[in-house]
Every structure is written in C-alpha cells, then in structure tokens.
Amino acid sequence: MKIRAGIAGVVLSLGLAAPVAAGPFEDGIAAYRRGDYPAAMGLLRPLADQGNASAQSYLGFMHLYGRGVPQDDAAAVSWFQKAADQGNADAQNNLGFMYQNGRGVPQDDAAAVSWFQKAADQGNADAQYRLGFMYQNGHGVPQDDASAASWVQKAADQGNALAQHTLGFMYQNGRGVPQDDAAAIGWFSKAADQGYAPAQVNLGLTYVNGRGVPQDYATAVSWFQKAADQGYAPAQVNLGLMYANGRGLPQDYVAAHMWFNLAAAGGLKEALTSRDLVAAKMTPEQIAEAEKRFAEWRRGGPIL
C-alpha cells in the first residue's frame, strides 16, 4: 500500500463573539457554549423572532445540528436566509453551504457561490476558503486556479487551517501560484501546528519523500503520530507502514497490525491488505497482542 496524502474537510461558520455586557443574547450564547441547548433556544428564539440577525444565524445552526430542537435542514435554511438577508456573514456562508450540498434546498452551485461571495467580501474566512474551493473545482463558476489561490490566500492569512492546508497543496503542485516546495511546507506547517490532521499527514509526507526538506523518517513519524492519535485513518495507515518497514522507528509488526486495523475501522478498508501481509510474518501471540491493543485504543484512545 502507498503512503496516503491528507484530504481537506469542511466547516461551517458560527460566530462566537468575545464576552460583552450581559443580556438575553449574551446569556443565550453562554448557554450554547456550555451545551445547555434548550436554555440557549429559549433565550435566542424570541430575539430571532424580533429580527436579531445573530440570533437567527444561531438558530439556523442549532436546527442544522439538532441542538435543542429536532434536526431540520429546511428550518435551518429558513433561519440562515433571514439572517443572510440582513447581511450576517456567518449566515451567508452557511446558506452557501446548504445550497452547495442540497441541504434543505435544491442543490445549486451558482447560488452557493453567490452567498459565499457576499460573506467573503465581508472578510469571512470560511467563506473565502469555500469560494476558493468553488473556483478551484469549477463549481458554479468557471474553473480558475488563480482566483482560487487568491481567495484561499485571504482565508489562510486569517489563520483558517483548511485554507492554509489547501494553499500548501496549491504551492506544492503549482496551481494558481508558482510551484514552491518551501512555501508549501510553510503553509502545511501552519495548519499542522493548529492540529489539522490532513496537514500533519502531508507535512509528514514531505519528510518521507525529502521534498523541500532533507528526508527524515523520524520527523515524518512524529507528524503521522499526531494525526493518527486524532483518529485520522490516512495517518494511521501511514504510521502502520512506517512500523512495518522500520522507517523512523524500530520495526514493530504488532504496532503496524494495530494501526492498520484502526485505519480499516476508520473507513480505509484497503488497510486490511497491509494488515494481512504483516500478519503473515507474525506469531499467533503477536497477533493476539495487536488485537488487544486495537481493542484498548478503540475503548480509550491512544495507548502507544
């Protein structure tokens, strides 16, 4: 099995403002933050009914994820729309997400781009990243790597980890920007330092391949470990391969078997092939130990 690269995920916007003077809205946000969703709904719903855009945006988010109310995409869209129409950037971004994914509305990339653009123009980093993604993939707009890089850069400069990771990929592959391994490593590092697992994997890969840095298996293992400990399956299979081949650490078939099992349980079924190849070199006692470690990890997290 080949070492696997990390793939970016998605997030939605939820404005969590800094503490201010107490009031119904602030009390509602405090209740939301501590996970008391029924109390948050009781405080925010009257404000939303009165036209408070921030409260409307929160209600959309709560309906989307079923927090304090039954999960309801259509209701989420309705509240996001009310807030977006008032210019709330978080709601505009989230409404774009709903159109992009056909959640509560018919799937419509052009509508998604329109809402992402409105939020991005207000400086919303999530929307800037999403707008860059749409340009990168030609969804709702003509495919344009230069525009993609421009919007992703804006989000990355605000500290958005997904954007930093994507910008690293763009520099690594010369998409919309000049090919530059050093710049790619810099952006992967920023995202990895925030704990973003796909960036940790790709940063590890630069050390495996010696691309833009001296080849260093031990450093690669360190980054794979950070992502694997988060339960990220591509990192787990990569870490298994490093153990199986004794790269950056002593060869350890028991550890490799465990990591391959974890990767397979996380959705990478092809990891079972690598597990079985390793198992053919192990004693029954070693396999039993690997299965024990796998079960312990699944119950309580990292054990190595």
**What global pTM score does this model have?**
0.88
Average pLDDT in the 39-49 region?
A: 96
Q: 19 pLDDT exceeds 80? A: no
Q: What is the pLDDT of residue 13?
A: 58
- Domain extents in the chain: 195-304
How many CA atoms lie less than 13 Å away from 196 in the CB half-sphere?
A: 27
The more confident residue out of 22 and 111 is 111
Q: 301 pLDDT exceeds 80? A: no
Average pLDDT in the 265-277 region?
A: 95
Q: How far is CA 166 from CA 83, 129, 247, 276, in A?
A: 29, 9, 27, 34
Q: 162 pLDDT exceeds 60? A: yes
Q: How far is CA 185 from CA 154, 202, 230, in A?
A: 18, 9, 21
Encode pLDDT of 205-218 as tens digits: 999 999 999 999 99
Check residue 19 and report its DSSP letter: P
E strands, 96-254, in order: none
CATH 1.25.40.10 fits domain 195-304: yes
Average pLDDT in the 176-192 region?
A: 97
In angstroms, rounded to a whole number, what is the distance separating the alpha carbons of residues 207 and 221? 9
Q: Is 131 helix (H, G, I), strand (E, B) or coil?
A: helix
Average pLDDT in the 71-96 region?
A: 98
Number of Cβ within 10 Å of residue 147's Cβ equals: 17
Encode pLDDT of 53-78 as tens digits: 999 999 999 999 999 999 999 999 99
